[in-house]
Amino acid sequence: MSNTDKAGKSDLEKTLALESSSSRSRYLKRLLVWGLVLLVVLFVIFKWVVGQDSSEIEYKTVEAELGDLTVIVTATGNLEPTNQVEVGSEVSGTVASVAVDYNDFVKAGEVLARLDTTKLEAQANQSLAAVESARANLLQNQATLFEASKELERLVHVRQLSGGKIPSAQEFEAAEATLKRGQANVAMSRANIAEAEAKLRVDQTNLEKATILSPINGVVLERSVEPGQTVAASLQAPVLFTLAEDLTKMELHVDVDEADVGQVEAGQQATFTVDAYPDRIFPAHITQVRYGAQSTEGVVTYLTVLNVDNSDLSLRPGMTATADIVVKEVKNTLLVPNNALRYVPRLQEGKSSQTEGGSLISKLFPRPSHTRPQKSDDNGDRKKQRLWTLRDKQPQVIPVTTGASSGIMTEIVSGEVTPGMVLIIEAVSKRK
């Protein structure tokens, strides 16, 4: 082997040795970094487990108390007049004048507006002329009938004198036919008179209805017509005015949810507020709960009518109101807050001694804790619930039967609960 080959082989061996040493160095560095990361993670988990072990449960409590309970159903709606009338026009025409404006007080029979009567007067005069013409025609037909009657009497007299020889039977029958035609013409004339008189009454009525009168005593809420405007009463009478009979007495129409309608009935008292007077509370009472359902976007409600005293005229039709209907009142009963009924202890509460003696693995990887739901009674009675109190610093269950609820407080009908008893509403972890 030449010296050149030996030198090349020596250099290759040195290069391979250096690369091997560099790979081991990088591997050791990576191993060191991952080891440090694992130590940090274990330290954090250890501190967390120690922190868990050094915490204790602290309970927030309230006391049961005696008091009055008022159950209220809330509903929204709008104020409406007790009697609202829409006044329109039964005839077509051009509005000649308008006699009232918004908020004007009117009496029954007072003129609200007048239509131009030129065409209607002409129609009435035409009908009157038709009546006179029909009457004249009746007189003419009556004269013809009188003439035919006398001619028949003459022929009868002649036949008697001639012993039945004259007039001929044909002439006698023609005279009888003429008499009957005269009678028919008189009857037709009388019918034409009746028809013409009916047409005259229609035209005169239309002429009278061209003057639009108020049907009630009230106030003008809306006016939808101006002088010079054309009114077309074809298939439906156009609404020109909206009148409210008496604004001192109004109605509040609210929509009661189907879940609450079973508690609402006529005669119950209520209060309501409106945005216009946020500091005032207005009294009302229910007069009607309607059976017809209303469905809006899948929500079923029932219209409920409340009577409202508006003697000072502060309330106005259309105002949005929120009503609180008193459906039940209970005096001097045992009450507990609703959050006390919602409280349920966790499974691991009261077992801290077992947790402290557990293994490190169990501390690092604890089993998930679940909240034990309250078991319903076999009879499915929703009134059977549970309360929790503290006895020897441990939660103790108390079965109870609940009554009415206001959404904040609930009546306790039966159970080992006394006024002043401490009830748990929440449990929080606290470090030692």
> Domain locations in the chain?
3-53, 58-66+334-431, 73-82+248-328, 85-115+214-245, 117-209
Question: Please, are residues 175 and 155 in contact by the beta-carbon 8 Å criterion?
Answer: yes
Between 61 and 289, residue with greater pLDDT? 289
Q: Which residues contact 361 (CB under 8 A, 6 or more apart)?
A: none
Q: Which of 124-133, 293-302, 419-428 has the lowest mean pLDDT?
A: 419-428
Burial class of residue 332 in the structure, from the number of CB atoms within 10 Å of its CB (0-12 exposed, 13-18 middle, 19+ buried)? exposed
Whether residue 122 is predicted with pLDDT greater than 60 in this model: the reply is yes
> pLDDT tens digits for 223-237?
999 999 999 887 677
d(CA 78, CA 189): 61
> pLDDT tens digits for 92-120?
999 999 999 999 999 999 999 999 999 99
Between 401 and 41, residue with greater pLDDT? 401
d(CA 323, CA 269): 10
Q: Is domain 117-209 given the CATH code 1.25.40 in the classification?
A: no
Q: What is the pTM of this model?
A: 0.64
Q: Which residues contact 217 (CB under 8 A, 6 or more apart)?
A: 106, 107, 108, 245, 246
Q: Which of 56-60, 306-310, 347-351 has the lowest mean pLDDT?
A: 347-351
Question: Please, are residues 225 and 231 in contact by the beta-carbon 8 Å criterion?
Answer: yes
User: Which one, of 414, 425, 389, 419, lies nearest residue 66 by Cα?
Assistant: 419
Token duo for residue 323: 């009503």
Q: Is domain 58-66+334-431 given the CATH code 2.60.40 in the classification?
A: no
d(CA 125, CA 70): 72
Fold match flag (73-82+248-328 vs 117-209)? no
pLDDT at 288: 95
12 — pLDDT class (breaks 50, 70, 90): low
Whether residue 356 is predicted with pLDDT greater than 80 in this model: the reply is no
pLDDT at 349: 47
pLDDT at 347: 54
d(CA 347, CA 391): 17
CATH C-level class of 73-82+248-328: mainly beta
E strands, 258-319, are 269-274, 277-296, 299-309
360 — pLDDT class (breaks 50, 70, 90): very low
CATH T-level topology, domain 85-115+214-245: OB fold (Dihydrolipoamide Acetyltransferase, E2P) (2.40.50)
DSSP H helical ranges for 245-313 = none
pLDDT (mean) for 319-345:
92
Whether residue 335 is predicted with pLDDT greater than 50 in this model: the reply is yes
Terminal Cα-to-Cα distance of the chain (whole angstroms)? 82
